[in-house]
């Protein structure tokens, strides 16, 4: 697979973002600039998570949005923002961000954890919205990536497994009553 140079990224950005100024005279960013930007994005995400843990969700969304603005290809920031949107009951926004996180991380080996998390979150959201098939599809993909939670959800969505669990639970309950 060919690597994309900074110049290639510049050209692609000009094609996909035609309304942004082109700045042809601008030098392509160096590795140290990329490292600084990566550190800034990581700090923004960490602060967003901290704010979300304090239930300061609107502020958290702002931090995740700033991280996305610095790197629109950052699947993790979309996944984190989606979680904050879910907590704010902004289902549509969460679904858009989860789909974007899944798209961005689907073909990148280093993003498999983000992919698994986003699929699991979207599976939960689909289930909440009543789309059992889409929910099962996302949980299945997440389970294939190793998510134990997704594996449990697959069992819960399987009507045969649910019936077996119900019978087993009833049997265990009866056994404890007779003891």
Residue 14 lies in a domain: no
Residue 138 lies in a domain: yes
Structural domain total, the chain = 1
DSSP 54: T
Confidence grade of residue 65 (pLDDT, cut at 50, 70, 90): very high
Confidence grade of residue 161 (pLDDT, cut at 50, 70, 90): low
Q: Is the pLDDT of residue 17 over 80?
A: no
Structural domain of residue 129, as residue ranges? 37-178
Residue 31 lies in a domain: no
Residue 165 lies in a domain: yes
CATH at residue 136: 1.25.40.10
Q: What is the pLDDT of residues 106-152, one digit of tens each?
A: 888 778 999 999 999 999 999 999 999 999 999 999 999 999 999 88
Residue 27 lies in a domain: no
Q: In the chain, which residue ranges form alpha helices assigned H by DSSP?
A: 6-16, 31-53, 57-70, 75-87, 91-105, 112-129, 132-144, 148-157, 159-178
Residue 41 lies in a domain: yes
């Amino acid at each position: 697979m060919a690597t994309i140079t900074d110049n290639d990224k510049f050209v692609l950005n000009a094609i996909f973002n035609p309304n942004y100024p082109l700045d042809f005279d601008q030098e392509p960013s160096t590795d140290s600039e990329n490292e600084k930007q990566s550190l800034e994005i990581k700090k923004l995400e960490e602060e967003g998570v901290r704010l979300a843990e304090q239930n300061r969700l609107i502020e958290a969304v702002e931090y995740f949005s700033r991280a996305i603005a610095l790197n629109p290809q950052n699947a993790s920031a979309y996944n984190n923002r989606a979680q904050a949107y879910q907590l704010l009951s902004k289902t549509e926004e969460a679904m858009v961000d989860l789909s974007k996180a899944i798209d961005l991380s689907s073909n990148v080996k280093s993003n498999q954890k983000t992919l698994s998390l986003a699929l699991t979150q979207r599976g939960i959201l689909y289930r909440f919205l009543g789309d059992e098939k889409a929910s099962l599809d996302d949980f299945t993909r997440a389970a294939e990536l190793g998510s134990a939670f997704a594996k449990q959800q697959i069992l819960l969505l399987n009507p045969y497994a649910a019936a077996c669990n119900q019978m087993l639970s009833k049997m265990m309950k009866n056994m404890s009553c007779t003891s």
